[in-house]
């Protein structure tokens, strides 16, 4: 029997340059993802509905919730904190650019013209994107034996 060393040896090591390039591209990709999310939610934050004569800013709530849940989902799913930080930087940078006057002196996020919604959006979107990024990593919880299945119930407990 002939054994091919290509399949039995250790996996090929990645070069240091390859790891650095992958890290930079990951950061850029998550920053672009944050920017795209911020553009969509910034334009949606002004959506409101009127119920019984009261305006409800449903777009503001939905936009803040979307940013918070995406950022928290990335933080919970990824082991590395850097992609979540780059997502937050992309989102905050985009909201900042959209809230400053452009060439024609128009802004997408008006200050207090329509009430405090613009101000709430600027500060709330920053908080929603950053809070999950700076949240400390929680230690994994041990599941109870009943949740692990019948084989785990018969096994001796670690406390004995």
Q: Report if residue 9 sits inside a domain.
A: no
Q: Report if residue 100 sits inside a domain.
A: yes
Residues 6 or more apart whose CB falls under 8 angstroms from that of 96 comprise 122
β-pairing verdict for 49-51 and 54-56: antiparallel
Q: What percent of the chain has pLDDT over 90?
A: 37
**Helices within the chain (DSSP H only):** 5-8, 16-44, 58-77, 82-99, 117-134, 145-148, 150-154
Task: Encode pLDDT of 52-97 as tens digits.
Answer: 988 888 889 999 999 999 999 999 888 888 999 999 999 999 999 9
Task: Encode pLDDT of 20-62 as tens digits.
Answer: 888 899 999 999 999 999 999 988 888 888 899 888 888 899 9
Q: What percent of the chain has pLDDT over 70?
A: 74
Question: What pLDDT score was predicted for residue 129?
Answer: 93
Rounded to two decimals, what is the model's pTM? 0.73
Three-state SS for 139? coil
Q: Report if residue 5 sits inside a domain.
A: no
Q: Report if residue 71 sits inside a domain.
A: yes
Most confident of 4-13, 68-77, 93-102: 68-77
Q: Report if residue 10 sits inside a domain.
A: no
Question: What pLDDT score was predicted for residue 125?
Answer: 92
Position 139 confidence tier, pLDDT thresholds 50, 70, 90: confident
Q: Report if residue 6 sits inside a domain.
A: no
Decide if pLDDT at 156 tops 70. Answer: no
Q: Report if residue 54 sits inside a domain.
A: yes
Residue numbers of the domain that contains 27: 15-154
How many structural domains are present in the chain?
1
Three-state SS for 106? coil
Using CA atoms, how far residue 102 sits from 32, 74, 96, 123, 153, in Å, is 21, 32, 12, 20, 65
For the beta carbon of residue 114, count every other beta carbon within 10 angstroms.
Answer: 12
Position 1 confidence tier, pLDDT thresholds 50, 70, 90: low
Distance CA 88, CA 74 (A): 11
Q: Report if residue 160 sits inside a domain.
A: no
Question: What pLDDT score was predicted for residue 66?
Answer: 95
């Amino acid at each position: 029997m002939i054994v091919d060393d290509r399949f039995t040896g250790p996996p090929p090591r990645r070069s240091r340059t390859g790891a650095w390039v992958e890290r930079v591209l990951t950061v850029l990709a998550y920053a672009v993802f944050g920017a795209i999310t911020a553009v969509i939610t910034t334009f949606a934050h002004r959506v409101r509905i009127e119920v019984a004569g009261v305006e409800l800013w449903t777009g503001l709530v939905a936009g803040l919730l979307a940013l918070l849940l995406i950022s928290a989902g990335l933080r919970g799913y990824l082991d590395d904190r850097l992609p979540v930080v780059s997502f937050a930087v992309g989102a905050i940078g985009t909201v900042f650019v959209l809230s400053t006057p452009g060439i024609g002196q128009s802004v997408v996020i008006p200050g207090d013209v329509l009430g405090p919604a613009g101000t709430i959006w600027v500060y709330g979107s920053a908080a929603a994107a950053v809070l999950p990024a700076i949240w400390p990593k929680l230690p994994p919880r041990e599941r109870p034996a009943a949740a692990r299945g019948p084989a785990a119930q018969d096994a001796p407990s670690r406390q004995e």
